[in-house]
Structure 1
Amino acid sequence: MNQSRPISPISSRRLKRLPLALMLAGCAGWSHGYAADETTNTAEPAAATKAKADDAHLKTVTVTARRREESSQSVPTPISVVSGQALESQRVYRIQDLQQLTPSLNVAYMHARQSSISIRGLGNNPASDGLEGSVGLYIDNVYLGRPGMAVFDLMDIEQLEVLRGPQGTLFGKNTTAGVINISTRQPTFTPERSIETSVGQDGYFQTKGTVSGPLTDELAGRFSAYRSRSDGDIKNEYDGHDLNGGSREGFRGQLLFKPNEDFSLRFIGDYNEESSSAGTRVLTSTGPTINGVNRYESRAAAAGATLVDGSDRKVNLDSDQRVTVHQGGGSVEANWKMPNDFTLTSVSSYRWWDFTPRNDDGLNVPVSYNAGVSVEDKQWSQEFRLASPTGGAFDYVLGAYYFGNKLDNKSFTYNGPLADIWNGTPAGALANTSSVGKGHIETNSFALFAQGTWHLTPKLDFTAGIRGTYEEKSAWVNRNAPVGGAAVTGAALTARNARYGAYDSGDLSQYSASPSGLLNLSYHFTDDVLGYATLSHGEKSGGVNLTVGTAPTAGADSLLIGTERANNLELGVKSTLWDNRLQLNGNLFWTEVHGYQTTAYDDANRVQYLTNAGAVRSRGLELESILVPIRGLTLNLNGSYNDVRYTSYKDAPCPPEVSFQAGAPASCDLTGHQVVGASKYIANANGEYKWNWDNGLQEYVTASYAYRSKAVGTVEDSAYAQIPGYGLVNLSTGFRGDLGQGQWDVSLWLKNAFDKTYYTTLWSEANGGYSGLLGSERTLGLTGRYDF
C-alpha cells in the first residue's frame, strides 16, 4: 500500500478555462507571510509596488492577542501570525491546511463533523457533539463552538493568529491548549474591488470576489463571495466515480458605521454551504492476524467483499458517500472610545450549523447502507470588555462573557442483508434492521474576567489575569427500538437488543465552576530583545456523550465526561536583530493536563465515544524566524519539538492485537505512550524572491517545505494505526503589474510537488481494521487576480 496513483495531466477541457481565468483576475504569489508580511487590500501603482520590492526590512505586525492592538513582538506570549496575503499566496484556503505554516499545530480533519484542532498535541477529540474543543476558534471576536464551523474557505482574511498555551483569562471559552484568532477585512471608506479565479487538476475550480467602499460619509459596506469545486482524487472501483471532491460556496456581508474616530459599529452576516464526498476514507490496514486468522479479511471474504489498496487512492463502496453542511450567522461589534480614553467593546452574535452525512461501510457488499450522525447546532453569545488607557504605570482589560448553545443530533444505522456476517452476530440479529437514536444538550456559560499589567520599571512588566466561569449543561440521550429484520429469538434477539435495544438516559446534568489564571513577567533586555516567563492555568468544562454506546450496561453516568485542567509554564524570548532584518523568537514550555479529554472506539458497539484519559504531559521547544537577507528575498523558518505523553492512563482501550486475543484484558495501561495525533518534530520552511523588470513588471518565485514526524493514529496506539512522517514541497511563480486603475497578478503553482502519499488522520474501523484520510495529491494550477 505504498504506491501512489500517478498524476494525470490537465485535461484539454480544463485548459480551455485558463484564458478565461487570466481575463477575470489575478493571483496570489507567495508573500512573505507571518510577522514579516504587509497586508495590501487595494491596488497600488507601480511605484508603490517597486518601493515594497526595494524594502529590505521587516514590517511591524499588529495583533489583538491581549484584546487591544499591540505589536506582535511586544506581546510576551508565543504567537504565530499569518497574514491574509500569505494565506492567498500559499493557496491555504482551508483551516485544515494551517498546519503547513505554523509550529505545534495539528488539524485532524475528516469532514466538518469529524474534525479537531490540537496545539502542542492537546485537543484531539473529534466528533465531540457534547463537548467543546480544547483549542478556542474565534472569527471576528466570536467563539465557534464546533470546529466544523470553521471548515469553509478562508475568504477575505486580514490576519490569523495562533496563540499557544492556555488563554482562558482573555479568550473565554475552553482554551486549555490555545487559540486560533481569525480577523476578516473590514469595510473601507476607500473603494476596493477584487476578483480571483483558480483552476487546477482533478477539476479544481475556485472563484472569489470582494467589493468594498463607502455608502455614505459615515457608512461603509463590504461583500465577499466564493465558490469552490473539485472532482475528487479517490477512485471508487465499484462504479468508477471520483470521490473526496464536491463544492463549497458562501458569502460574507458587512456594514461599518463610523460617525467619528471614537465610535464604530460593525455588522457581519455570513452563510456557507458544502455538498461533497469529503471524508472518504481509504483502507490503511486490516489489523492483526492472530492464530492465522485476520478478522477483518476473513469476515470481508465471508461477505463476498473485495478489498482494494487504499494507498493507490482507491475505495470499493456500493453506497453513497456524502456530507452536506449548511451554516451561517451574524454578529454586531461596537467600539466606543470614551472621553476618559477608556474603550468599551460589545460583541453580540448568533450562529447555526447543520450537518448531514451519508456514509458507506467501506465494503462493496450490502452490510450497511448508511450510518452516521446528523447534527443541528445553534449558539449565541454576548461579551462586554472595558480597556483602560495605556501609557501609565498600570493598564487593564476587564469584562463579562455569556455563551449559550443548543444542539440536537441523530445517530442512525440502516443495515443490509449481510450485516450479521460482517458483525459476527447470529443470523438474523442485525440483517435488514435499522436503528435511530437522538441526543440533546443545552449549555449556558457565564464568566467574569480581568487582566492587568503593572509597568514596574521602563523595562520590567508584570501581568496577572483571572477568569471565573460558571457553566451548566443539561442533556438527554435515547434510542428507539430497532425496526425491520426477521423475527428472532434466543441469541439473535439478545445480540440485536445489545446493539440496538431501546434506551432512555433520562435527564442528565453537569454544573461546574472553573477558574483560569495567568502570571507573567517580561523584561526588555534591549529595545529589540524581550524575555518572558509565564505560569498559567486553564480549565475546560466537561461534556456528555450524545450516543448511547455502553450506557445500557455501564449506566447513564458513563455518558458524562469530566473537566479537563491544564497547568502551563513558559520561558521565551522575542528578538528583532540585524537592523530589523531578522526576527528570531523561541520558547520552552511544560504543560501538565489532568482529566485529558479524548476519543476512543468501542468495537463491541461500533461507536466512537469520549473519555477522560487520565493525565498528560506536553513539553518542548518552539522556534520561529524571519529573515530578509537581501532586497526582495524573504525567508521563514519555524519548527517545534513536542514530547506529549500520557503520564497516567490505566483504563485505556486496548488495541485489536491485544483485545482480539483469548483472555484479553478489559482495558490496557497506556501510561508513557505518545498522545494520539501529536508529531514530535514539526518543521516549516518557505521563501520568496521578487524582483522588478524595467517595464514595470514584478516577477516572483516561491518555495515551501513542511515536515511532520510520525504520529500515533488512534488513541489505543495500535501498531497498525501509526501515521508515518512526511514532507511536502509547494512551488509557485508569477508576475504582477499595473493595468488601468488596478493591479493584475497571475501565478502558476504546484502543491505537493513530489506527489507524496501521506495521511492526515486515521480512524478505527470494525473488526480491527483502520482507515485514513489521504492528503491532497500533486496538484498543478493557475490563479489570476485583479485588484482595482
Structure 2
Amino acid sequence: MNRSPYWPQSALKPLTLAVLLALPGVVLADETAAPAASETSAEDAPKLKTVVVTARRREEAAQDVPTPITTLSGANLETQKVYRIQDLQQALPSVNVAYVHARVSSLAVRGIGNNPASDGLEGSAGVYLDNVYLGRPGMAAFDLLDIEQLELLRGPQGTLFGKNTTAGVLNITTRGPTFTPESTFEVSGGERGYFQTKGSVSGPLTDTLAGRLSFYRTRDDGYLDNDYDNRKLLGGEREGLRGQLLFKPNDDFSLRWINEYNEENSSSGSSVVYGAGKTFWDRATLVGANPKIGRSNIDGRQNVSVHQNASSVEANWNLNGGYTLTSISAYRYWHFNPANDADQTEKNVIKDFGYEVHDRQFSQEIRLASPKGETVDYVVGAYAFKQDLGNRIFTDLGPLADLNLIGANLNALNNIYTESHGKVDTESYALFGQATWHLTNRLDFTAGIRGTYEEKTASIERLAPVGGGTALVIPGVVDGNAIRDAQVGAYDSGGLGLHSAAPSGLLSLSYRFTDDVLGYASLSHGEKSGGVNLAIASAPTLGADSLLVGPERANDAELGIKTQLFNDRLQFNTNIFWTQVDGYQATTYYQPPGSAVGYQLLTNAGTVRSRGVEFEASVLPVRGLTINANGSFNDVTYLDFKDAPCPAEAPGTSCNLSGERVAGASRWIGNLNAEYKFPLVDRFEPYVAGSYSYRSEAEGTLDNSDLAEIDGYALANFVTGVRVDYGDGLLDASLWVKNAFDKEYYLAVGTGSNGLYTASLGQPRTAGVTLRYDF
C-alpha cells in the first residue's frame, strides 16, 4: 500500500490502533459474537455518561455543541495520575505544551501559540480557571488541584471567551462546595524523593452556606544531574490551598467565592545543551569550558520562586421568565523570581540572569442567558479586564564575560551588573452576544459577535551599569567604553502605547441527521491584541517603536460530525479544519553583535496556515472496560515569513522561512487510555489502567534550526490498584509507573548566547504508590 511521505512509521501503529478501537466492527466484536448468550438487557447495558460543558456559556451536553471539544473529568485525571499542566498533552489532541518553568511556558492548539514567553505578550490559547481568564500562561503552572473537569475548545473562541483565544481555550473547572458532606485525602510516594499529599473537605456550614477547603503539597529531588557539582536539578517543592464558600439561600440565587494561594520553590528551568553553532563551541574553548550535548554543567545558581494568590466571586440569578444573570468578579496576583546560570558552562561568564515579573489583574464579566427551549437562544454580556505588569531583567557578569561574549578581553563587560525595568498596563473592554436560531427541530443557525477595545501603555528603562574596571581603548582600533555603553549602557524608552478596536465573530450551521448524529459547519474570526517587548533588545539602535508588535488575526473554517452510537456505548467525533493567522505573533531571540546577552524579541511572523483533521472516540466494549482515544494530523506552515531569524548553523541577518513548518507543531499526535474495572467481589474492586501518547517530531525554535529539532516520542503509563469499601468511605490503593519504557524526551527548546540551543528534559521513568480515601 502506498503511504504519504508525511506518515511516519512510528506513528502508524498508535494511530491505527486508536482508529480501530473506534470502529464499530471492532468495538462490538465481543457483543456480536454471541448475542443470544447475553444475559444483560439493553436497558441494563453499560452506557457512556453524558458530559455537560459550558462552551456556549450555558450548561449543555458536549455532543449537542457544534464545535470540537475534548473533555477530561477529574476522575480520569486522577486515574491517569495527571497533575501537571505540561502532562495534558499526553491526553489531549492537537495540543503542544512547551514547558521550561512557570514564566517560559505555552499552550499551543493546532500548532498556534508556541511563543508567548515575552512578558508583554499574551498567549494565543486562552486558559480559564473557574470562568476567569488567566493573563499569563504561567498562572496555570501549578498542580491540578480538586479538578471537576477540563474542556479543550479548538479554533478561535473570541465571541464568548474573549480576546487572545485565536487558537483555542482550555477551560478548567474545580469542584465546588457541596451541601452533602464529603472528604478526600490522598498521599503518594515514588522514586527520586517524590512525595505528594492532597485532600479536600466539603460540607454545609448552615442551611444556606456550604464550604470547601482543598490543599496540596508536592516535592521531589529532581532528575537532571549537574556534572559540575553533582547537584540534582529539576526538583523542588510546590504547594497550594483553595478555600471556597457557596451561599445559596434559594433555588434562584447562588454565590460562589473562591480564594486560592499557590507557591513554588524549585530548580525548574534547568536545561541541557541541546545543540550549538560554531561560535558557541569556539567561545567555550576560549574560556576553557567543556560543555557536552545532553548534559548540564553549570557553576551558578538555578532556582525559581513563584507566588500567586487569587480571589473570585461568581453570582448567578434565575430571573423571571427563565433568564439567567451571571456576574464574575476576579483578582489575581502572580510573582515570578528566577536565578539562572545563563552561559551553560562551568566557567564564570554569566553569574546570574533572569526576568523577575510582578503581575496584577482584575476582571469583571456580566452576562445574560435567555430561557432554554425557545425558538432563539442567546447569551449577551459585557467584559472588562485590567492588567498591571512589571518586570526586572538583571544580568550579573563574571570575569570571563568578555572572552566568551565578545571573543576578546577588552574589560568592557567583565564583572558588570546591569538591570532594566519594564512596565505595561492594559485596559480592555468588550461587548458580546451569541444567538442560536432553531430553524427546525433538526437545523440550527448560530451567529455571534464581539467588539473589543484595548489600550496598552508601557515604558522601559535600563539603569547605568555597576562595577567593572577600566575598559581597553586603542584609538582607531577598538573602544571598550563604546562597547560597554552600547550593550549595557543606560537607556529610557519613554512612553509607549498601543490601542486597538478588534472584532470577533462566528457563523455556524448544525444539522441533527438522527437523534445520535450531529453534523456542523462553521466560520469564525478571532483577534489577539498587540504587545510590547519589555526587554531593551534592539531599541537603542532601531528605536523604541521596534519594541511594539501588532495584533494577530485568525480566520477559521470547521466541518465536523458528532455521533453517539450502539445504545450509547460508542461515541465517535471527527472534524476537519482550516485556519489562517495573519500577523502571527512570535517570540524570537536577538543578540546584538558583541552583546553580553541576548534578548527576547517580539515579531509578527507573517502569515501562518494550520489545517488538518482530528478525531475522538470513547467506547464501552464490555462491562467494566472504558477506552478513550483521540488523534490529530496538523499541517502548520508559514505561508509568508521572509524576515525570520537565521539558525546557528547558517548565521545571517535574516532568513526566509516561507513554506516551512511552524515551530513547536507536531504533525501527528495520538493518545490512547483505557481502564478496566474487575467485577466487584466482597467489597473489593481491582482495576488496571494504562495510557499511551505519541507525537511526531517538531521544529524546536523559531529559526527552524536542524540543531534544535525535537525528535518524536511515545510515552506509556500504567496503573494497577484496588478499591474497597472501608468504614464509611472508599479506599483506593494503587501502584503506578510513568514513562514506563524510560523514553528520553524534551518538552521545549530555547535559544541562548553565541548560537546555543538548550532543552527542557522530560521526566524519566518514575514508579510509585498512591493511597486515597474518599469518605
Give your verdict on TM over 0.5: yes
Match of 2:664, SS? Answer: coil
Which of 551, 569, 578 is the equivalent residue of 1:563? 551
Alignment of 1:295 with 2:279, yes or no, is yes
SS of the residue 2:706 aligns to: coil
> Residues 700-759 of structure 1: CA distance to partner in whole angstroms, max 9, x if unpaired?
111111000000000000111100000001011000010111000011000000000011
**Change in CA separation of 1:205 and 1:474 when aligned onto 2, cut-off 3 Å:** same
| 2:701 alignment partner, one of 695, 714, 726 | 714
1:462 aligns with 2:450: no
Corresponding letter in the other structure for 2:768 = G
Q: Does 1:404 align with 2:376?
A: no
From 37, 61, 64, the equivalent of 1:71 is 61
Residue by residue over 1:134-174, the C-alpha shift from the partner in whole angstroms, topping out at 9 and shown as x without a partner, is 11110000000000000001000000000000000000131
Q: In the aligned structure 2, how far is the partner of 1:552 from the partner of 1:412? A: 18
Q: Which structure 1 residue ranges, 4+ long, deviate > 4 Å from structure 2?
A: none
Task: Say yes or no: does 1:636 pair with 2:628.
Answer: yes
CA–CA separation in structure 2 for the residues paired with 1:497 and 1:721: 32
1:612 corresponds to: 604
Q: Give the 5 Å matches for 1:49-60.
A: 56-60=46-50
Aligned residues: 724
Superposed CA RMSD in Å reads: 1.3
Equivalent residues of 2:105, 2:138 under 8 A apart: yes
Structure 2 partner of 1:331: 312
Q: Counterpart of 2:677 in structure 1: which amino acid?
A: K
Query: What runs of 5+ residues in structure 1 fail to find an aligned partner?
Result: 1-31, 33-50, 288-293
Q: CA deviation at 1:521?
A: 0.2
Structure-1 separation of matches of 2:47 and 2:693: 25
Equivalent residues in 2 for 1:544-693 (5 A)? 544-604=532-592, 605=595, 606-659=598-651, 664=652, 666-693=653-680
Give the counterpart of 2:186 among 196, 200, 204.
196
Which residue of 1 is the match for residue 397 of structure 2? 415
Q: Deviation of residue 534 (structure 1)?
A: 0.5
| C-alpha contact 1:446 1:471 (8 A) present in aligned 2 | yes
User: Secondary structure in 2 aligned to 1:202?
Assistant: coil
Partner of 1:228: 218
Partner Cα separation in structure 1 for residue 449 and residue 708 of structure 2 = 41
Greater relative CO, 1 or 2 (CA 8 Å, sep 6+): 1
Tell me the distance in 2 between the aligned counterparts of 1:127 and 1:786.
39
1:599-630 CA deviation, whole Å, 9 max, x = no partner?
A: 11113341121111000000000010011111
1:81 and 1:162 in contact (8 A); partners too: yes
Give ranges in structure 2 of 5+ residues lacking alignment: 1-20, 22-40
Letter in 2 for 1:706: S
CA contact (8 A) 1:108 1:126 kept: no
Q: Secondary structure at the match of 1:720?
A: helix
Deviation at 1:308, TM superposition (A): 3.1
Letter in 1 for 2:331: Y
Equivalent residue for 1:365, pick from 347, 365, 368 = 347
SS of 2:378 mapped into structure 1 = strand
TM-fit CA distance, 1:107: 0.8
Q: Return the alpha-carbon distance in structure 2 between the equivalents of residues 89 and 492 of structure 1.
A: 61
**Secondary structure of the residue that 1:585 maps to in structure 2?**
strand
Structure 2 Cα separation of the partners of residues 602 and 143 of structure 1: 30
Deviation at 1:55, TM superposition (A): 5.7
Give the whole-Å Cα distance in 2 for the aligned partners of 1:436 and 1:769.
23
- Within the candidate set 491, 502, 525, 2:513 is matched to 525
How many Å separate the matches in 1 of 2:128 and 2:191? 32
Aligned 8 A contact 1:273 1:325 in 2: yes
Which residue in 1 is equivalent to 2:38? Answer: none
Tell me the SS of whatever aligns to 2:541: helix
Distance 1:179 1:166 in 2: 8
Residue 436 of structure 1 corresponds to 419
Residue 212 of structure 1 and its aligned partner are, at CA, apart by 0.3
CA displacement at 1:279 relative to structure 2: 1.4
SS in 1 for 2:158: coil
Identity of aligned residues (%): 60
The alpha carbon displacement at 1:635 in A equals 1.0
Q: Retained in 2: the 8 A contact 1:55–1:632?
A: no
Counterpart secondary structure, 2:480: helix
The DSSP-based 3-state class of the residue aligned with 1:658 is coil
Q: Is the Cα–Cα contact under 8 Å of residues 159 and 184 in structure 1 kept in the other structure?
A: yes
**Structure 2 residue aligned with 1:382:** 364
Q: How does 1:200-219 map to 2 (within 5 A)?
A: 200-219=190-209
CA distance in 2, matches of 1:581, 1:779: 34
Tell me the amino acid that sits aligned with residue 404 of structure 1: K
Query: Residues 116 and 122 of structure 2 are in contact (CA less than 8 Å); yes or no, is this contact kept in structure 1?
Result: no
2:283 counterpart letter in structure 1: R
Q: Report which stretch shifted further, 126-135 or 728-737.
A: 126-135
**How far apart, CA to CA, are the structure 2 residues paired with 1:711 and 1:468?**
35
Match of 1:137 among 127, 130, 134: 127
Whether 2:233 is the aligned partner of 1:243: answer yes
Is the partner of 1:711 in helix, strand or coil?
A: coil
Q: CA deviation at 1:693?
A: 4.2
Match of 1:355 among 316, 336, 340: 336
Amino acid at match of 1:342: Y
Question: Helix, strand or coil: the match of 1:399?
Answer: strand
Q: Is the 8 A contact 1:113 1:126 kept in 2?
A: no
Question: TM-score of the superposition, structure 1-length normalised?
Answer: 0.91
Contact 2:275/2:293 (8 A) holds in 1: no
CA deviation digits over 1:213-244, x for unaligned, max 9?
Answer: 00000000000000000000011121111110
**Is 1:104 paired with 2:94?**
yes
Pick aligned residue for 2:289 from 298, 305, 312: 305
Q: CA deviation at 1:425?
A: 4.7
Distance in 2 separating the partners of 1:253 and 1:543: 34
TM-score by length of 2: 0.92
CA apart distance, 1:501: 1.5
- 1:406 and 1:441 in contact (8 A); partners too: yes
* 1:56–1:629 CA contact under 8 A, matched in 2: no
Rounded Cα–Cα distance in structure 2 between residues aligned with 1:766 and 1:694 = 62
After TM superposition, the structure 1 stretch with the greater mean CA deviation from structure 2, 232-241 or 468-477, is 232-241
Q: Give distance in 1, aligned partners of 2:613 and 2:274.
A: 32
3-state DSSP class of the match of 2:89? helix
Name the structure 2 match of 1:183: 173
